[in-house]
Structure formats: structure tokens, C-alpha cells
Chains A and B, each alone.
Chain A
Amino acid sequence: MTANCSGAETDQRPSPGTATLQVRGIRAGYKEDDVLHGIDFELHTGEVLGVVGPNGCGKSTLLRAVTGLIPLRQGEVTIGGERLGNLSATQRARRCAVQPQIEAPLFDYTVRQFVLLGRHPHRGALAPATKEDRAAAERALAETDLTNFGARSIRSLSTGEWQRALLARALAQETPVLLLDEPAAHLDPGHRFAVHVLLRRMARERQRAIVCVSHDLNLAAEFCDRLMMMSDGRVHALGTPEEVVTPENLQAVFRCGALRVTPNPFTGRPGTVFAP
């Protein structure tokens, strides 16, 4: 994540790869109530899919259901062609990594020790870290601009640094599918931009398939190949940023009259501004 501020070198969209994550008509929720009322989408290798929508529309629940953290009440999920229910915990963790929302760190792990834990699904219970494991961890540290923080305790980090460490651990897992829950929520503008550049590069150069939950409509429209707009546990719109970020969709989903659509004067991608 060396803040590559040109950032525009790979703007052409990828040709659709094979669907590596398929979500078919899933329903899931907590207690009696469903939060997700039938979600369908496919994620292709080499693409970044942005998931946007108002608070409580089911974005985080979607990530939990897709990774088997909460049971599916209906529908099915396949990762790399295999049904979620048929995968062992380790097999799942080798195919799909998740950056969760901020969890409070406990105990004084160093950042490097913490990121190395991302290699867990690739290691035997008692196997020491191999050269590849260490290399993957160092790569992830470098990509999230944390190399200089390697020896620091995770409890000494600022929220933004800790969030980057969480991302680094998911990257070190080196899975074909990456699911990120607001990876830029607590970051400063420079790092927010850099994270998105990194995600797009991961998708293009390493053929990762990435889902990125985001509240930043502008960055999502700028860097994601497709957007999925959710509302009340359903998919409201799914398509290119131009198809999804429209005044009608924004009004229907966010119900905020002051939110206006305007193209980015530099890239032409759709963006939003407030006109109070």
C-alpha cells in the first residue's frame, strides 16, 4: 500500500472470470427474524464487488452467512465450486478470508506475530512457520504499509493502524476469495485511497475475487467493478457503478433528498455529493 496516487493505471474492467463465489437465494438471520430475505449474486475471479446500503440492511449479516458463521435457513453458497456445507473449517479458511469489523485486541501480540496468524489454515497444528508463511506475512505487512510496525504491540496501535493489521492478516491468508467488512472505515484519506488501490491491484494481478462492504459510495463507485446495493435484506440493484449509483436508487435506498449524483470530474465515474 505504498500510496500510489496516480492509481488510474488499471481502469479497464476485467473480462468476467469464472464465478468463484456463488450465493443462491439465501435467507439467514438471528433469533426468529430473517435479516436476509433471499440474496443472489455471483463473484468472479479478478473482480471487486462493492456492497453498499444503509445501516442495518444486512451487509455484515451477509458476510456472516456466506462464511457459515450463522446458519443458512434457505438457499446455498458455493466457494470455488464446492458447497459451503461440504467444506471443512480448514478448507473453507483456505478458500475464503474475511476482514471482520474492528474487534478489540487482547494481549500484547506484536503486529508481525498477529499477521502471521493468518497463515493458520495452511499450517499443521504443531508446524513451525515455514519460509513461505513468513514471506506471505511480510508481503501483507508491506502491502498495508505496516512493515515498520512489525515489532509493535497490537495494543499500541491507533484504530486505523489496527484496522490495517486486520486487513494484513486476511491478506496473509492468501485465499482466492476475500471478504472485507468496511476495510477503510477508520482510515485517513491517504490510506483509504491506498487500500482501494491495493484491492483493485489484488483482483487484477493476483486474480483474487473480492467483496468489499463500504459506506463510502464515491470510493466504492471509483474502485469496484460492480456494486451491489442492498436494502432491507434484499438486493436492490446489482451492476456497474453507473447502473447502480443513480438518483432513483439512492432515493429509494437511503431516503436522503440531499444526496445527489455527480460524475467524478477526473474519471467520469459516478459519485455522490450532498446538496443540503
Chain B
Amino acid sequence: MRTTLRLGLLGVSAVALLVAAVSLGPTQLLDLPRLIELMRSGPATPELERARLVLWELRLPRVLLAAAAGINLALGGLLLQAIFRNPLAEPYLLGLSSGGALGAVLALAAGATVVTWPALAGSLLVASVVLLLCRKRIAADLPSLLLVGVALGALAQAFTTAIILRFDPGALRSILFWLMGSFAGRGWAEVWILVPAALLGVVLVFVIHRPLDLIALGGESAHHLGVRVRLLQTGGIALAAVLAAFTVAACGTIGFVGLMAPHMARRLAGAPHGASIPATALLGAMLTVGADLAARTVLAGTELPVGVITGAFGCVFFLALLAKRP
């Protein structure tokens, strides 16, 4: 019961943060009375039209996109941590995001405008290499798995850099900003891909919540308890890669959300995935929405890439986790 209560409170806070993120911004404050006024139909003044435009074309898609991205990355982290039995695993640190970014940049260089599928190919490629090395027991233990991810990520980033340097300066700047992770300038097109992906992700991950419990507690005993371990590993990692790729294609590489959200969720809702999955999704959304809110309000007149904010927080979190590890 206490867990249900906590999940409920978390849900309420998430909604509150979402409303706050929609309300606050440099262009125009949309406080609650104003939001309600916008919902009503009435005589349209130019000022009201402007506010409506800010709400529907800027704030709402941006906040929804941030929330969906947070959910996707957090679910990816949760899957990878359980399947690799590694509390430090997450899509960014394992190179899945960098693989996706490389795929997307390659497609951009080739003149493509839709980068979702190339990003997916890049993420899946890195995921299969990580899985293969893990199966071969090269990366079976905790530190070497991360090193493999770091190595693959560095390789992908090197290629990415080599490619984007060939773009002209104007394009280069916007690509760099996208690579660092940002929810600015995105619209409903991205929202319609990422929000369904996030909702589907939550459902799929929740369906396998008990197999995830079992595999997190040991591969051999998961087998003895009726889990099809290889299928779960392959499927789970593929799902994490898909979620990461969709997110990268829409809003660039955002690190550490996938690391932080599952840990905070387990603290709050307990270790069993039945409760920690909804908590992870809510916290993931809150982290990215909060980071995005900070990115566009901390420095007046300018905007930071959201990846810079999550990176700064995530780095401290990562070091704290390392220090706590027995």
C-alpha cells in the first residue's frame, strides 16, 4: 500500500512539473488562469491568439517530447541494468545513443531528412556488438561491459565528428546543438513518433517485469525459474536500442537520464520491477522535463543544450554510485 501511495504522489508531482514546464518560459508566462482561459472558446483577441500559439506550437510539443524522451531513456537504462546485472548500464554509457547519432549524421550527410531509421540501424548495430561481446564472456563482468560501451561510443563519436566537420558552418552549428540534446524547435511530427514509442515501451517493459526481476538476480537461476534467458536478453537489449534510437533521432544524445531514473525509482518504490517500472518512467519524464525547463530558463536570453544539464547532474550521480558500490 505504501508503494501505491508513493507511486501516486510521484504521479501527481510529475503532472505538476509538466504543467509548470508548460507555464514557464522566456517568451510568455502561461499561468493557470491563462491556461484555463485558453481552453475556453471566446472572442479571440490578438494577444490570446499569440498565447495560444505559444502553448500549442512551442510549449506543449516541447514538454511532451521531453517527457517521452525521458521515459524512453529511463526504460532503456532499467532494461540494460537488469539484463546486464550492472547498476551502471544505460543507453548513453553503453554507446547505444552514440551509435544512433552516427546513423543519423550519416543519413544527414547523404541528404536524408528523416533520420529515425538510420539512427535505429546505428543503435542496433552497437547493441548487437555489446550483446555479442557479452555472450562471448569478453564483457561479462561489471567494469569491462562499461569499457566496451565507452569504446564503441568513442568510436561512433569519432566518426560522427569526422562527418559533421564536412557540413557548412550554419548546418554544423545546428547539428552540434542537436547532438548535445535539445528539445528546442521540434514540433508535433516528433511528438507523434516519440510519445507512442514511450507508451508502448512502458507497456512492453511492464509485461516482462518479473522476468526482469529474475534475470537481475542471476542468469542461471532465472533459467531455473522458467525465464527464457537468451530471448529476454536479446529482446530487452533490442528494445532499449529502439527506444534510444527514436529518442536520438528526435532530440539528440541526452546522457545519464537512463542511469539516474531507475536508481531513484528503486529508492522510492522498491526493487521489484512491478513498482519500479512506473516509477522509472515518471522519474525519467520529470528529469528531462526539469532539465529542459532549466535549459531554457537558467540563462536569460539564451538556451543551453539539455544534454549539458543532464550531463552535469549525471556525472555527479555516476561518481556517487561508484563510491557507494561495495
- Contacts from A to B (Cβ < 8 Å): 64, 67-69, 89-90, 92-94, 96-98, 100, 103, 105-110, 113-114, 117-118, 120-121, 123, 125-126, 155, 166, 169-170, 173
Contact = CB atoms under 8 A, between A and B. Distances in A.
B218 A103 contact: yes
Contact of A108 (B206, B221, B266): B266
A141 B271 CA distance: 19
A120 B210 contact: yes
Interface stretch (B13-21, B118-126, B222-230, B280-288): B222-230
Given A93-B225, A93-B226, A117-B210, A108 B271 contact: yes
Given A109-B271, A117-B213, A120-B210, A94 B218 contact: no
A172 B207 CA distance: 23
Nearest to A68: B223
A94 B208 CA distance: 19
A92 B266 CA distance: 31
Contacts of A166: 221
B207 A125 contact: yes
B33 to A, nearest CB: 42
A107 B266 contact: yes
Contact of B221 (A68, A98, A121, A123): A98
Contacts of A67: 223-224
Given A89-B227, A89-B228, A93-B225, A103 B214 contact: no
B220 interface: yes
20 contacts: A64-B220, A67-B223, A69-B223, A89-B226, A93-B226, A98-B221, A98-B224, A100-B220, A103-B218, A105-B217, A108-B270, A109-B272, A110-B271, A113-B271, A113-B272, A117-B214, A117-B225, A118-B225, A126-B206, A166-B221
A107 B218 contact: no
B217 A106 contact: yes
Given A94-B226, A120-B227, 12 more contacts: A89-B227, A98-B221, A100-B221, A105-B217, A113-B271, A113-B272, A117-B210, A118-B225, A120-B214, A125-B208, A126-B206, A170-B224
Contact of A106 (B85, B210, B225): B85
Contacts of B217: 103, 105-107, 109, 114, 117
Nearest to B224: A98
Contacts of B224: 67, 69, 93, 96-98, 100, 170
A170 B224 CA distance: 9
Contact of A100 (B218, B227, B266, B270): B218
Given A107-B266, A125-B207, A120 B226 contact: yes
Interface string B183-220: 00000000000000000000000111011011011101
Interface string B291-326: 000000000000000000000000000000000001
B87 interface: yes
A170 to B, nearest CB: 8
A110 B272 CA distance: 9
B215 to A, nearest CB: 10
A43 B271 CA distance: 37
B216 A106 contact: yes
B8 to A, nearest CB: 17
The 9 closest A-B pairs by CB, nearest first: A93-B226, A103-B218, A98-B224, A121-B226, A107-B271, A90-B226, A109-B271, A89-B226, A120-B225
Contacts of B216: 106-107
Contacts of B272: 109, 113
Contacts of B207: 125-126
Contacts of B211: 120
Contacts of A155: 326
A260 B191 CA distance: 76
Contacts of A113: 270-272
A103 B221 contact: yes
Contacts of A98: 220-221, 224
B214 A69 contact: no
Contacts of B213: 109, 117
Nearest to A107: B271
Contacts of A90: 226
Nearest to B276: A107
A50 B85 CA distance: 32
Contacts of A89: 223, 226-228
Contacts of B227: 89, 120
A67 B222 CA distance: 12
A205 to B, nearest CB: 24
B209 to A, nearest CB: 8
Contacts of B220: 64, 69, 98, 100, 103
A92 B271 contact: no
A109 B220 CA distance: 18
Nearest to B208: A125
